[in-house]
Each structure stands twice: as C-alpha cells, then as structure tokens.
Amino acid sequence: MRVIAGELRSRRLKGVPGLATRPTPDRLRETLFDILGPRTEGAAFADVYAGTGSVGIEALSRGARHGYFLERNRAALAVLRENLAALGLEARATVVPGRVALTLPQIQADIVFLDPPYDYEGEYTKALQALSQAAPKLVIVQHSVRFQIGTEHGPLREARRTRQGDNVLSFFEPV
C-alpha cells in the first residue's frame, strides 16, 4: 500500500496484519480522489473506520488542511499512529479511538469517508444517522455491490454512484 499522489506520493504505508481490516485498494482510492479533484484542498477530511489511514493520509497528501481518523480496532490504531508518525503528519491529524456512533458527532469535517467492514452492515446506518444531525458538505460511502445503501438518509441525498469491481462509492450531499 502506498500514497498515490500529492506531497507524499509513493510513500509506503504499513498494513494491519490479519483480516480485521479491509484496506481500500490503490485503484479505488485513485478513482475517489480523481472525482474529488480540488474539493480536497483546504478541507477537513474524516476517514471513518480508518484502518491504516490510507484514505485520510491520501487526502492530507493532496492538500486537506486536517484529517480526522476514527477507528475502534486496537491493532489498526497502532498501525495508523505509526503511519502518521512515519509521514510526519501528527500535527495535521487527530486520531479518535472508539465506537464510531459515539465519536462521529464530535468531529467537524467538510468531507467524510465511511468504509465500515462489509460484514457490519448495521454500521452504515448508525454512521449515516449520526451524520444526518449535522450533515457535512460531502459524505462518501464505500460498500459492496451486494449491499443496498439507500439513496436518502435524513438531509443527505445520493448525488453520484461509482462502481469499480465489487466496490461501490456512493456520494451523498445535503439537500
């Protein structure tokens, strides 16, 4: 796993051993940031269910002013902190450990990327409900093509959907 573009381009990221996390593939991250384009620059970006932090780190590399990394798994938290330290990003990053449903309302981000483990389908609903209280400018949800996420969640409406292999990126914006 590596950073694809920006100031940290080609830098390697440490992975979490085992099957507790499912890293976002490089090609899908590249597609995501090609779609986001300049929206990332200067934004506060939240990588929710962060795992290694690859998506949030990519956002920071591409000009996000601050990254929030929400993660519950202890092994993933340790690797995430190592990746941030190795890249010198601690000053621009906030790691928020704990359950997402409890920690998500505490952050103020412009762009939120949600990627819960596919076998925890209930987490999608919990996270989207938490976000609907104070909807950010953009919420991106990575999910399996076999999972129907719905097109409306409170004030959030699906604005775009992109499929790549077995993965889908659903983009939600407030009405």
How far from chain centre, in Å, is Cα 166? 18
Strands (E), 20-110: 44-48, 66-71, 93-97
Q: pLDDT-derived band of residue 118, with 50, 70 and 90 as boundaries?
A: low
Confidence of residue 16 (pLDDT cuts 50, 70, 90): confident
Quote the CA–CA distance of 147 and 104 in Å, as a whole number: 22
**pLDDT recorded at residue 139:** 96
**Residue predicted with more confidence, 102 or 62:** 62
pLDDT of residue 101: 85
Q: Given this model, what pLDDT does residue 22 score?
A: 67
Q: Which domains does the chain have, with CATH numbers?
A: 28-174 (3.40.50.150)
Query: Rounded to two decimals, what is the model's pTM?
Result: 0.94
Return the number of other C-beta atoms located less than 10 Å from residue 76's C-beta. Answer: 22
